[in-house]
């Protein structure tokens, strides 16, 4: 039998055997951007190349951010948050606070900055027509630091979560003379904050007290 005929028969046999084996073991192939191909045999799994999403929440927190500061000397304090717990009284679109309902609903902004004259205080709730601003003694920074230490607010440093739902809002920044900063951010109904270290009422009450002591807080005219 000619040798060429035998080689041809062997070639056909090997080709069919390999083809049948590949058909019995289907391949799944996916091409990723950057010309990278992932091939997975049936029953196997490719390496996960997509980030794991935590529902609707985007967590950008820096877990290694310092939770304490060396300096105790605050030079600037800023916080913006939503307050939804109490509704005050309005007259002609302006909020009139009283003892029972001192804080209107809305987005609040509280600021305390060091200046040559002492401390520049500002309280805003624009949708309620409330704006309080003026100079107060710089001892306000020391008592503010005591409040922060009492509640461990620096433990929030590095917290940053966001989603598209309505609800939570916090944008906090505390700057110290040393250059150290405490920052925290939360936005959206699922971007919850550790309640142990944060309560809007602590700072509303603190700023209101200082404003009242320095004749800056609005008072209702006696009837």
Asked if pLDDT for residue 70 goes beyond 60, the answer is yes
Please state, rounded to an integer, the average pLDDT across all residues of the chain: 75
Domain ranges of the chain: 3-41, 58-213
Backbone φ and ψ for 16, nearest 5 degrees, come out as -65, -40
Residue 8 pLDDT? 56
Note the helical H segments in the chain. 3-24, 139-151, 200-213
Closest C-alpha among 119, 197, 190 to residue 156 = 197
Angle at 167 (CA atoms; ends 108, 212), nearest 5 degrees: 20
Asked if pLDDT for residue 93 goes beyond 50, the answer is yes
Half-sphere exposure of 201 (CA within 13 A, CB side): 7
Residue 196 pLDDT? 84
Judge whether 85 and 108 are in contact, CB under 8 Å: no
Residue 160 pLDDT? 79
- Quote the crossing angle between the two packed helices 139-151 and 200-213, to the nearest 10°: 160
Residue 127 pLDDT? 80
Instruction: For residue 83, name the pLDDT band (cuts at 50, 70, 90).
Output: confident
**How many whole angstroms separate alpha carbon 186 and alpha carbon 193?**
7
Which residues does 85 contact at the CB level (< 8 Å), separation at least 6?
103, 105, 201
Looking at the DSSP bridge assignments, the partners of residue 94 are 91
CATH entry, 58-213, from 3.30.1560, 2.40.50, 2.30.170, 3.40.1130: 3.30.1560
To the question of pTM greater than 0.75 for the whole model, the response is: no
Instruction: For residue 53, name the pLDDT band (cuts at 50, 70, 90).
Output: very low
pLDDT tens, residue by residue, 121-163: 999 998 888 899 999 999 999 999 999 999 999 999 987 777 7
Tally of CB atoms within 10 A around 106 = 18
Residue 62 pLDDT? 74
| Cα-Cα end-to-end distance for the chain | 125
Residue 162 pLDDT? 77
Of residues 129 and 41, the one with the higher pLDDT is 129
Least confident of 1-5, 44-48, 75-79, 88-92: 44-48
Find the Cα–Cα–Cα–Cα dihedral 157, 160, 161, 165, rounded to 10°. Answer: 100
Number of H helices, E strands in the chain: 3, 12
């Amino acid at each position: 039998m000619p040798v060429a005929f035998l080689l041809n028969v062997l070639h056909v046999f090997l080709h069919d055997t390999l083809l049948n084996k590949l058909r019995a073991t289907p391949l799944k192939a996916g091409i990723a951007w950057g010309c990278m191909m992932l091939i997975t045999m049936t029953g196997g799994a490719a390496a996960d190349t997509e980030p794991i999403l935590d529902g609707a929440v985007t967590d950008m927190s820096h877990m290694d951010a310092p939770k304490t500061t060396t300096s105790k000397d605050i030079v600037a304090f800023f916080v913006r948050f939503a307050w939804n717990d109490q509704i005050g009284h309005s007259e002609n679109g302006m909020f009139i606070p009283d003892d029972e309902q001192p804080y209107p609903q809305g987005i609040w902004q509280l600021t305390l900055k060091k200046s040559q004259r002492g401390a520049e205080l500002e309280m805003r709730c624009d949708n309620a027509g409330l704006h309080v601003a003026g100079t107060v003694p710089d001892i306000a920074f020391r008592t503010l630091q005591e409040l922060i230490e009492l509640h461990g607010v620096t433990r929030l440093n590095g917290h940053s979560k966001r989603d598209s739902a309505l609800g939570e809002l916090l944008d906090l920044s505390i700057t110290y003379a040393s250059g150290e900063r405490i920052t925290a951010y939360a936005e959206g109904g699922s971007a919850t904050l550790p309640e142990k270290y944060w309560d809007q009422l602590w700072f509303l009450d603190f700023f209101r007290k200082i404003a009242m002591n320095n004749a800056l807080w609005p008072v209702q005219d006696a009837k």
